[in-house]
Amino acid sequence: DPKDVAERFRQDEMGALEAGQTLRIDQPAVFPDGRQGWLYTLKAPFRDEAGKITGVITYNRDITEQKRNAQLKNDFISTVSHELRTPLTSIRGSLGLIAAGVAGELPPKSATHNNSERLVLLINDILDMEKIESGVIAFKIRQMPVRPLLEQAIAASSNYRADGRIRIVLVDDAPRAEANIDEDRLHQVMANLLSNAIKFSDADGTVTVKLERRDRDMLRISVIDQGAGIPEAFRSRIFGKFEQADASSTRKQGGT
């Protein structure tokens, strides 16, 4: 209600007058276009030459975007904390069994190894995000065949397939294709896409990796799963900073 907002502003100004001090307030606001958001408001007493307070100087700044980014960052930090804690808990449990001598002979691809790989992936993503923000990320581009890299990525995805029942199929519609690639970055992107596809697939589902030629100078690599997909309302924000379709602490799966 505009009257309530006006009354709140009046009370703030009276507070500044009575205290003789500068007030700094973050407060919800309704803007002239009807948009709801946040204002940073600074109210300072105005004094005449004799030092007597004769009024209040008010400065307002729209901080809606900053508030939204702060909330997204808090959600992201909460998510990362959860994502890191989950594999660490599993690793600690496995090492505890080993230390107690009750684990017996461990299989070649143990839960500890899988979870440590998951941790490495998460930490590398966080570090690379900082590099991108700082503008210091570097790429090592060279021409190489594409299919072997995809085969390596699929083989490495066994780290994310806990029960090994999810099938990953490679469809190569561009045989012997080569491209200018940063090998490490492609592996990183494929690891993220495959881990997400696996996490959101049913136990007996299939994930398809497809390589196709778009035109003479362009190839496309697709990772296709049979999960619910990204909600249409969220798609315009998919590459936004700290964005996740479901950032709640109760969501069933992690994100990348």
Q: Report CA 150 to chain centroid distance, whole Å.
A: 24
Has domain 2-62 been given CATH number 3.30.450.20?
Answer: yes
| pLDDT over 90 percentage in the chain | 20
Asked whether 227 and 203 are in contact (CB, 8 A), the reply is: no
For residue 186, what pLDDT band results from cuts at 50, 70 and 90?
very high
CA–CA separation, 79 vs 130, rounded Å? 17
- In terms of pTM, does the model score above 0.85? no
Which runs of E-coded beta strand occur in the chain? 23-30, 36-47, 53-62, 141-145, 167-172, 178-182, 206-215, 218-224
End-to-end CA, the chain: 41
Q: What's the mean per-residue pLDDT of the chain?
A: 79
Indicate if the pLDDT at residue 255 is higher than 60: no
Asked whether 12 and 22 are in contact (CB, 8 A), the reply is: no
CA–CA separation, 10 vs 31, rounded Å? 18
For residue 163, what pLDDT band results from cuts at 50, 70 and 90?
low
What residue spans define the domains of the chain? 2-62, 64-138, 139-247
Has domain 64-138 been given CATH number 1.20.1540.10?
Answer: no
Least confident of 72-81, 164-173, 179-188, 200-209: 72-81
Q: pLDDT digits over 192-236, tens only?
A: 899 889 888 888 889 999 999 998 889 999 999 988 888 888 888
pLDDT of residue 202: 84
Q: pLDDT digits over 89-145, tens only?
A: 666 666 666 666 665 665 545 555 666 666 777 777 777 776 777 677 888 999 999
CATH fold of 139-247, please?
Heat Shock Protein 90 (3.30.565)
Q: pLDDT digits over 45-66, tens only?
A: 888 888 888 888 888 899 999 8
> Comparing 64-138 with 139-247, is the CATH topology the same?
no
DSSP 3-state of 158? helix
DSSP 3-state of 186? helix
Q: Which two three-digit tokens encode residue 80?
A: 């990362």
pLDDT of residue 249: 41
CA–CA separation, 105 vs 163, rounded Å? 19
